[in-house]
Protein backbone atom coordinates (compact mmCIF):
# COMPACT_ATOMS: atom_id res chain seq x y z
CA UNK A 1 0.00 0.00 0.00
CA UNK A 2 1.21 3.51 -0.86
CA UNK A 3 0.02 6.89 0.36
CA UNK A 4 1.00 10.52 -0.24
CA UNK A 5 3.19 12.04 2.46
CA UNK A 6 3.97 15.67 3.17
CA UNK A 7 6.38 17.17 5.68
CA UNK A 8 5.54 20.73 6.66
CA UNK A 9 7.35 23.14 8.99
CA UNK A 10 4.61 24.79 11.08
CA UNK A 11 4.59 28.16 12.87
CA UNK A 12 7.41 29.56 10.77
CA UNK A 13 7.93 31.49 7.53
CA UNK A 14 11.30 29.89 6.82
CA UNK A 15 12.36 26.41 5.87
CA UNK A 16 13.99 24.42 8.69
CA UNK A 17 12.30 26.58 11.33
CA UNK A 18 9.20 25.97 13.40
CA UNK A 19 8.02 22.45 14.12
CA UNK A 20 8.09 19.80 11.37
CA UNK A 21 5.07 17.52 11.04
CA UNK A 22 4.39 14.67 8.65
CA UNK A 23 0.89 14.52 7.14
CA UNK A 24 -0.48 11.38 5.47
CA UNK A 25 -3.95 11.45 3.84
CA UNK A 26 -5.37 7.90 3.78
CA UNK A 27 -8.32 6.28 2.00
CA UNK A 28 -9.35 4.52 5.23
CA UNK A 29 -7.97 3.96 8.71
CA UNK A 30 -5.16 1.45 8.98
CA UNK A 31 -4.47 -0.67 12.09
CA UNK A 32 -3.13 1.33 15.02
CA UNK A 33 0.09 -0.69 14.94
CA UNK A 34 0.72 0.46 11.36
CA UNK A 35 0.04 4.10 12.21
CA UNK A 36 2.40 3.87 15.18
CA UNK A 37 5.09 2.22 13.05
CA UNK A 38 4.85 4.96 10.42
CA UNK A 39 5.15 7.66 13.09
CA UNK A 40 8.17 5.92 14.61
CA UNK A 41 9.74 5.69 11.14
CA UNK A 42 9.17 9.40 10.54
CA UNK A 43 10.68 10.19 13.98
CA UNK A 44 9.12 13.66 14.15
CA UNK A 45 7.31 15.23 17.08
CA UNK A 46 4.04 14.26 15.40
CA UNK A 47 2.72 12.51 12.35
CA UNK A 48 -0.88 13.38 11.42
CA UNK A 49 -3.11 10.90 9.59
CA UNK A 50 -6.20 12.10 7.73
CA UNK A 51 -9.28 10.26 6.42
CA UNK A 52 -12.14 12.00 4.62
CA UNK A 53 -15.50 12.43 6.36
CA UNK A 54 -17.84 14.01 3.80
CA UNK A 55 -16.58 17.55 3.22
CA UNK A 56 -14.44 17.31 6.36
CA UNK A 57 -11.58 15.10 7.53
CA UNK A 58 -10.92 12.90 10.53
CA UNK A 59 -7.49 13.39 12.12
CA UNK A 60 -5.24 11.43 14.48
CA UNK A 61 -1.75 12.28 15.73
CA UNK A 62 1.12 10.02 16.78
CA UNK A 63 4.49 10.87 18.32
CA UNK A 64 7.31 8.34 17.75
CA UNK A 65 6.05 6.43 20.80
CA UNK A 66 2.38 7.23 21.60
CA UNK A 67 -0.88 8.53 20.18
CA UNK A 68 -1.93 11.94 21.50
CA UNK A 69 -5.42 13.44 21.62
CA UNK A 70 -4.47 16.99 20.59
CA UNK A 71 -1.64 18.46 18.52
CA UNK A 72 -1.61 22.03 17.29
CA UNK A 73 1.35 22.23 14.92
CA UNK A 74 0.39 19.04 13.04
CA UNK A 75 -3.17 20.37 12.71
CA UNK A 76 -1.82 23.59 11.20
CA UNK A 77 0.36 21.49 8.87
CA UNK A 78 -2.65 19.34 7.93
CA UNK A 79 -4.64 22.48 7.19
CA UNK A 80 -1.86 23.65 4.90
CA UNK A 81 -1.85 20.30 3.07
CA UNK A 82 -5.62 20.32 2.50
CA UNK A 83 -5.91 24.00 1.56
CA UNK A 84 -2.77 24.21 -0.57
CA UNK A 85 -2.39 20.72 -2.09
CA UNK A 86 -5.51 18.55 -1.80
CA UNK A 87 -8.29 21.14 -2.18
CA UNK A 88 -6.65 24.46 -3.08
CA UNK A 89 -9.94 26.26 -3.77
CA UNK A 90 -11.11 25.95 -0.18
CA UNK A 91 -10.98 28.72 2.41
CA UNK A 92 -11.31 26.51 5.51
CA UNK A 93 -11.39 22.90 6.62
CA UNK A 94 -12.69 21.07 9.70
CA UNK A 95 -10.81 18.17 11.26
CA UNK A 96 -12.71 15.80 13.57
CA UNK A 97 -10.54 14.66 16.47
CA UNK A 98 -10.84 12.98 19.85
CA UNK A 99 -11.01 16.50 21.31
CA UNK A 100 -13.82 17.59 18.99
CA UNK A 101 -13.91 19.50 15.68
CA UNK A 102 -10.90 21.71 14.90
CA UNK A 103 -11.21 24.40 12.23
CA UNK A 104 -8.30 25.71 10.14
CA UNK A 105 -8.87 28.69 7.84
CA UNK A 106 -6.93 31.09 5.69
CA UNK A 107 -6.08 34.25 7.64
CA UNK A 108 -4.48 36.43 4.95
CA UNK A 109 -0.87 37.18 4.04
CA UNK A 110 0.00 33.49 3.86
CA UNK A 111 -1.11 32.77 7.42
CA UNK A 112 -3.46 30.10 8.70
CA UNK A 113 -5.65 30.31 11.79
CA UNK A 114 -7.02 27.48 13.87
CA UNK A 115 -9.25 27.19 16.91
CA UNK A 116 -8.22 24.84 19.70
CA UNK A 117 -10.06 24.06 22.95
CA UNK A 118 -9.27 26.65 25.61
CA UNK A 119 -7.84 25.47 28.91
CA UNK A 120 -7.72 27.76 31.93
CA UNK A 121 -5.04 26.36 34.28
CA UNK A 122 -5.34 26.21 38.06
CA UNK A 123 -2.53 27.44 40.30
CA UNK A 124 -0.89 24.70 42.37
CA UNK A 125 2.16 23.91 44.46
CA UNK A 126 5.09 22.67 42.38
CA UNK A 127 5.68 18.94 42.82
CA UNK A 128 9.20 18.00 43.93
CA UNK A 129 10.01 16.51 40.51
CA UNK A 130 9.20 19.84 38.83
CA UNK A 131 11.47 21.74 41.20
CA UNK A 132 14.27 19.27 40.56
CA UNK A 133 13.63 19.43 36.78
CA UNK A 134 13.90 23.23 36.70
CA UNK A 135 16.59 23.43 39.36
CA UNK A 136 14.59 25.77 41.61
CA UNK A 137 11.02 26.60 42.52
CA UNK A 138 9.26 28.61 39.78
CA UNK A 139 7.68 31.99 40.49
CA UNK A 140 4.29 30.31 39.94
CA UNK A 141 3.13 26.82 39.01
CA UNK A 142 -0.11 26.04 37.21
CA UNK A 143 -1.75 22.76 36.25
CA UNK A 144 -3.85 21.65 33.30
CA UNK A 145 -3.06 18.99 30.73
CA UNK A 146 0.56 19.96 31.46
CA UNK A 147 2.45 21.67 34.25
CA UNK A 148 3.11 25.35 33.58
CA UNK A 149 6.14 26.83 35.36
CA UNK A 150 6.40 30.62 35.27
CA UNK A 151 9.95 31.99 35.43
CA UNK A 152 11.13 35.56 35.95
CA UNK A 153 12.47 36.45 32.51
CA UNK A 154 13.10 35.41 28.93
CA UNK A 155 16.79 34.69 29.50
CA UNK A 156 15.89 32.08 32.13
CA UNK A 157 13.60 30.29 29.69
CA UNK A 158 16.16 30.38 26.90
CA UNK A 159 18.99 29.16 29.11
CA UNK A 160 17.11 26.42 30.95
CA UNK A 161 18.59 22.92 30.75
CA UNK A 162 15.96 20.84 32.54
CA UNK A 163 16.58 17.45 34.07
CA UNK A 164 14.54 15.34 31.67
CA UNK A 165 14.55 12.31 33.96
CA UNK A 166 12.70 14.44 36.52
CA UNK A 167 10.26 15.67 33.83
CA UNK A 168 9.42 12.00 33.18
CA UNK A 169 8.48 11.68 36.86
CA UNK A 170 5.63 14.15 36.26
CA UNK A 171 3.69 11.24 34.76
CA UNK A 172 1.67 11.89 31.62
CA UNK A 173 1.95 15.65 31.95
CA UNK A 174 4.69 17.54 30.17
CA UNK A 175 6.42 20.69 31.37
CA UNK A 176 5.85 24.14 29.89
CA UNK A 177 8.17 26.91 31.04
CA UNK A 178 7.27 30.50 30.28
CA UNK A 179 8.18 34.11 31.07
CA UNK A 180 7.40 37.61 29.83
CA UNK A 181 9.06 38.69 26.61
CA UNK A 182 12.19 40.80 26.97
CA UNK A 183 10.41 43.90 25.68
CA UNK A 184 11.21 46.28 22.87
CA UNK A 185 9.83 46.76 19.38
CA UNK A 186 8.86 43.55 17.64
CA UNK A 187 9.38 41.35 20.69
CA UNK A 188 6.89 38.80 21.94
CA UNK A 189 4.44 39.32 24.78
CA UNK A 190 5.68 36.04 26.24
CA UNK A 191 8.07 33.20 25.50
CA UNK A 192 7.93 29.51 26.26
CA UNK A 193 9.50 26.07 25.85
CA UNK A 194 7.91 22.63 26.18
CA UNK A 195 9.40 19.35 27.35
CA UNK A 196 7.65 15.97 27.19
CA UNK A 197 10.26 13.18 27.09
CA UNK A 198 7.71 10.68 28.42
CA UNK A 199 5.98 10.92 24.99
CA UNK A 200 9.22 10.49 23.06
CA UNK A 201 9.78 14.24 22.62
CA UNK A 202 12.64 15.62 24.78
CA UNK A 203 11.82 19.18 23.64
CA UNK A 204 9.04 20.04 21.22
CA UNK A 205 10.16 22.84 18.87
CA UNK A 206 6.80 24.70 18.70
CA UNK A 207 3.66 23.49 20.47
CA UNK A 208 0.22 24.72 19.49
CA UNK A 209 -1.57 22.73 22.20
CA UNK A 210 0.59 24.26 24.96
CA UNK A 211 -0.86 27.63 24.02
CA UNK A 212 -4.33 26.37 24.98
CA UNK A 213 -3.04 27.05 28.52
CA UNK A 214 -0.53 29.78 27.79
CA UNK A 215 -2.91 32.14 25.97
CA UNK A 216 -5.51 32.30 28.80
CA UNK A 217 -2.78 32.70 31.44
CA UNK A 218 -1.01 35.56 29.67
CA UNK A 219 -4.23 37.21 28.51
CA UNK A 220 -5.33 37.47 32.14
CA UNK A 221 -1.91 38.54 33.40
CA UNK A 222 -1.30 41.18 30.71
CA UNK A 223 -4.90 42.33 30.41
CA UNK A 224 -5.29 41.78 26.66
CA UNK A 225 -6.74 39.05 24.51
CA UNK A 226 -4.47 39.27 21.45
CA UNK A 227 -0.83 38.33 22.03
CA UNK A 228 2.34 37.44 20.16
CA UNK A 229 4.15 34.35 21.42
CA UNK A 230 7.64 33.02 20.69
CA UNK A 231 8.54 29.44 21.48
CA UNK A 232 12.27 29.80 21.94
CA UNK A 233 13.51 26.29 21.17
CA UNK A 234 16.53 25.84 18.93
CA UNK A 235 14.33 25.89 15.80
CA UNK A 236 11.95 28.50 17.23
CA UNK A 237 8.51 29.58 16.14
CA UNK A 238 6.07 32.48 16.26
CA UNK A 239 2.37 32.24 17.09
CA UNK A 240 -0.38 34.81 17.15
CA UNK A 241 -2.69 34.03 20.08
CA UNK A 242 -6.21 35.24 20.78
CA UNK A 243 -8.00 34.18 23.95
CA UNK A 244 -11.75 33.75 23.31
CA UNK A 245 -13.28 32.65 26.62
CA UNK A 246 -16.87 33.17 25.47
CA UNK A 247 -16.27 30.64 22.69
CA UNK A 248 -14.14 28.37 24.92
CA UNK A 249 -11.34 28.37 22.36
CA UNK A 250 -8.00 29.95 21.66
CA UNK A 251 -7.35 31.15 18.12
CA UNK A 252 -3.77 30.56 16.98
CA UNK A 253 -2.31 31.96 13.77
CA UNK A 254 0.91 31.09 12.02
CA UNK A 255 2.60 30.30 8.75
CA UNK A 256 3.74 26.98 7.33
CA UNK A 257 6.40 25.96 4.81
CA UNK A 258 6.52 22.75 2.77
CA UNK A 259 9.73 20.76 3.09
CA UNK A 260 8.90 17.38 1.50
CA UNK A 261 6.25 15.90 -0.74
CA UNK A 262 6.31 12.27 -1.86
CA UNK A 263 4.89 8.79 -1.52
CA UNK A 264 5.15 6.49 1.49
CA UNK A 265 5.15 2.68 1.23
CA UNK A 266 3.04 1.33 4.10
CA UNK A 267 3.27 -2.39 3.51
pLDDT 10s digits, 105-131: 999 999 999 999 999 999 999 999 999
Give how many domains the chain has, as a whole number: 2
Based on the fold, state whether residues 128 and 216 are members of the same structural domain.
yes
Based on the fold, state whether residues 20 and 107 are members of the same structural domain.
yes
pLDDT in tens, the chain (267 residues): 899 999 999 999 999 999 999 999 999 999 999 999 999 999 999 999 999 999 999 999 999 999 999 999 999 999 999 999 999 989 999 999 999 999 999 999 999 999 999 999 999 999 999 999 999 999 999 999 999 999 999 999 999 999 999 999 999 999 999 999 987 545 899 999 999 999 999 999 999 999 999 999 999 999 999 999 999 999 999 999 999 999 999 999 999 999 999 999 998
CA-closest candidate to residue 19, choices 67, 88, 82, 75: 75
Q: Are 97 and 69 in contact (CB under 8 A)?
A: yes
- 79: domain CATH number is 3.10.310.10
Based on the fold, state whether residues 126 and 226 are members of the same structural domain.
yes
How distant, in Å, are the alpha carbons of 193, 203, 227 from that of 221? 19, 26, 11
Q: What Rg value do the Cα atoms of the chain yield, rounded?
A: 18
Based on the fold, state whether residues 96 and 154 are members of the same structural domain.
no
Based on the fold, state whether residues 88 and 161 are members of the same structural domain.
no
Based on the fold, state whether residues 24 and 103 are members of the same structural domain.
yes
Based on the fold, state whether residues 17 and 128 are members of the same structural domain.
no
Based on the fold, state whether residues 162 and 223 are members of the same structural domain.
yes
Residues classed as catalytic: 46
Based on the fold, state whether residues 237 and 261 are members of the same structural domain.
no
Query: 199-211: per-residue pLDDT in tens?
Result: 999 999 999 999 9
What's the whole-model pTM score? Answer: 0.95
Query: 219: domain range?
Result: 122-247
Based on the fold, state whether residues 69 and 157 are members of the same structural domain.
no
Based on the fold, state whether residues 70 and 134 are members of the same structural domain.
no
Based on the fold, state whether residues 201 and 258 are members of the same structural domain.
no
Amino acid sequence: MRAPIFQVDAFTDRLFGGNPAAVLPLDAWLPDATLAAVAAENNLSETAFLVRRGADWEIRWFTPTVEVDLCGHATLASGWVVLERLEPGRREVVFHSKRGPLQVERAGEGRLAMRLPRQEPAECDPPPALIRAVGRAPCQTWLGDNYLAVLEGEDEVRGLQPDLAEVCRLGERGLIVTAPGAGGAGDADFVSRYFVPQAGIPEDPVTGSAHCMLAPYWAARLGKRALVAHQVSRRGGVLGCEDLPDERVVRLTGRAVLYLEGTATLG
